[in-house]
Structure 1
């Protein structure tokens, strides 16, 4: 079954890190991504641009509304995701616990509804 791991963190935290800490962060995510790939669990994933670059689209009464972000007054923003293949929720939670994002933010795990 596929699970989406959504990584939430405070976007301003990255800029507060030293260059060495940023390099260590990149290395941690690289190692995690490689571990997922080597285990055959990685389906896809990516880092997202900051929340203030997002655009929100909705349609009400046939009229399209486009709003620039950010939208939520929250300390944490969605900063990236991994789409993984795991045997069950427990396996997906184990991968989420290994994610570097779990150490400086939150990793939300959500099963993907399969489509035909």
Structure 2
């Protein structure tokens, strides 16, 4: 079954030495999961201010800068894994959380 492990980061925080160390741990974990055959994809994301909202309004594509949510944390990256069961997915999510040094969100895919 496929799962996405979403990594969150505080909005507006500056890049620190601790963040650099976390990135190194995440890159190592990425390599480990790729070697085990469990990793489908992983990416870091640009900050929210680099994002855009794209929607269709009255049949016309409208693109606006954003998102500018009120949340203190925003999605910073993800790991997409394919594992046999929920227990393995939770174990990987725990490893991502430990590497990132913060909480992560785990979701299974619909199909």
Same fold (TM over 0.5): yes
Match of 1:3 in 2: 3
Q: Secondary structure at the match of 1:71?
A: coil
Question: Which consecutive residues of structure 1, in runs of 5 or more, have no partner in the other structure?
Answer: none
Q: Output the aligned Cα RMSD.
A: 1.7
- Normalising by structure 1, we get a TM-score of 0.82
Deviates more, 1:88-97 or 1:64-73: 64-73
The count of aligned residue pairs is 109
Match of 2:47 in 1: 50
Deviates more, 1:62-71 or 1:36-45: 62-71
- Normalising by structure 2, we get a TM-score of 0.85
Question: CA 1:26 to 1:51, structure 2 compared with 1: closer, same or farther past 3 Å?
Answer: same
Question: Which consecutive residues of structure 2, in runs of 5 or more, have no partner in the other structure?
Answer: none
Match of 1:25 in 2: 22
